[in-house]
């Protein structure tokens, strides 16, 4: 969306043969750390649902940052090197699989005057409506607000859309 700026995100998802810790979310506030959170998803949803213990390491950054454009192998190397500092008992042999995910438009950045830039639900294209993270302000992006937004847009779209009368059809 023109005129809005976003942070990108890079995530390393690890499939582990054993749990890393008993915590769901560990925030890493150290400036030198390559990621900002260690999230052990299977401390929320049981590992039996996936057949592995799932942990992801997440970092927000600019899409032209050298970490964002680095190869998957390099990202894994950098992230795991730091993970060992947090978990000294870490063994590479615990990793059954790993995946690097990148999202260029992961976090809308609310700059000064943002409330005047929020995109409208209705787009210039007839019958096309927009529900997006950029409209959540002043809340922060989250699935609960995505659902709220989706319901609101569906309600508005219904008001503006003439539904065909199918009551007499077999
Ligand atoms: C790294 C990261 C971590 C997050 N962590 C959390 C968290 O811990 N808790 C939380 O509540 N929220 C979190 N969020 C925010 C949450 O993911 C979003 O707010 C939510 O997913 C938005 O839902 P949505 O349905 O609007 O969009 P999305 O979930 O992005 O769904 C949009 C869908 O449309 C598809 N799509 C896009 N373009 C097209 C096209 N042209 N044609 C067809 N399909 C298309 C996409 O593939 C996608 O499946 C996180 C987001 C990121 C990026």
The pLDDT tens digits of the residues spanning 42-69 come to 999 999 999 999 999 999 999 999 999 9
Same domain, yes or no: 75 and 120: no
What one-character-per-residue DSSP string does the chain give?
A: -TT-EEEEEEEEEEEESS-S-S-SEEE---TT-S-SEEEEGGGTS-GGGTTSEEEEEEEEE-TTSHHHHS-HHHHHHHHHHHHHHH-TT--GGGEEEEEEEEEEEEEEE--TTGGGTPPPSB-SSTT-B---GGG-TTSPP-HHHHHHHHHHHHHHHHHHS-----TT--
Ligand 1 centroid–CA 16 distance in Å is 25
pLDDT at 157: 87
Task: Retrieve residue 83's tokens.
Answer: 């993970």
Name which residue sits closest to atom 15 of ligand 1, judged by CA: 142
Residue ranges of the chain with pLDDT lower than 50? none
Cα(135) to centroid of ligand 1, in Å?
Answer: 13
Range of the domain at 121: 111-160
Taking the CA of residue 11 as reference, the ligand 1 atom at the shortest distance is 1
Same domain as 137, residue 91: no
Residues with CB under 6 A from ligand 1: 9, 11, 58, 103, 106, 131, 133, 141-143, 146
Same domain, residue pair 102 and 26: yes
Shortest-distance atom of ligand 1 to CA 39: 8
Strand partners, 12: 57, 100
Query: What contacts 48, CB < 8 A, 6 or more positions away?
Result: none
CA distance 118 to 32: 34
Domain boundary among 91, 108, 125: 108
146 and 69 belong to one structural domain: no
Question: Would you say residue 168 lies in a domain?
Answer: no
31/115 same-domain check:
no
In this structure, the answer to whether residues 28 and 98 fall within a common structural domain is yes
Structure confidence at residue 90 (pLDDT) = 97
- Answer whether residue 41 is part of any domain: yes
Q: How many domains are contained in the chain?
A: 2
Q: Give pLDDT, residue 169.
A: 62
Residue 165 lies in a domain: no
Does residue 140 share a domain with residue 99? no
Model pTM?
Answer: 0.86
């Amino acid at each position: 969306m023109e005129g809005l700026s976003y942070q990108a995100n890079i995530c390393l998802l690890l499939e582990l043969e054993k749990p890393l810790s008993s915590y769901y979310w560990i925030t890493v506030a150290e400036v030198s750390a390559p990621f900002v959170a260690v999230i052990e998803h299977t401390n929320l949803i049981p590992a039996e649902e996936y057949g592995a213990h799932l942990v992801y390491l997440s970092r927000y950054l600019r899409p032209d940052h050298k970490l964002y454009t680095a190869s998957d192998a390099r990202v894994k190397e950098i992230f795991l090197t730091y993970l060992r500092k947090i978990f000294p008992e870490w063994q590479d042999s615990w990793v059954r699989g790993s995946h690097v995910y990148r999202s260029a438009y992961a976090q809308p950045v609310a700059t000064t005057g943002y409330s005047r830039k929020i995109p409208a639900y209705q787009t210039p294209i007839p019958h096309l409506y927009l529900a997006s993270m950029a409209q959540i302000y002043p809340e922060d992006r989250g699935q609960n607000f995505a659902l709220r937004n989706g319901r609101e847009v569906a309600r508005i779209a219904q008001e503006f859309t003439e539904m065909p009368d199918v009551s007499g059809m077999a």
